[in-house]
Structure 1
Amino acid sequence: MISLSSILAVLFLILGLILSLYGVWTWSDSMYEKSLGWNLNLIWGGVVFSVGVLFGIGNRIATRFPKEPNP
């Protein structure tokens, strides 16, 4: 059975990758003048991708070391 954390990990990884690629693709666009020159698409794409990695690591730990039921 697929866990919710694995589904969320894949969704966050895909969304972060798309957002980061868009930030790289529009690197020298004039829209970044409004945000003081910060490429927010690239920054938040990296943050979202990192959250996806954390979900994936948490899922691997949870499946490798399952909780034992209390007697």
Structure 2
Amino acid sequence: MNLIFDFGGTLCDSIEPAVGMINKIFSEIGYKKTNIKEVQMMGLKGLIKSRKISSLKVHKLISDYRKRSE
């Protein structure tokens, strides 16, 4: 099982909520939404690379998402 986390702790423990979180973040920054099949094929790292999103930006976006979710 893959977990998505930032330094604050676990955000998602399965692919369905992860894709939902990714789509919310992507829509906020103007990227096309993804789906479960695409994430399963590419993995999160591959998806982020294919969209040319910097890893520093990913960390900030996830941290911002966590703050809004609390």
TM-score between the two structures when normalised by the length of structure 1 = 0.29
- Bigger relative contact order, structure 1 or 2 (CA pairs below 8 A, ≥6 apart): 1
Larger Rg: 1
**Structure with the largest fraction of strand:** 2
**Structure with the largest fraction of helix:** 1
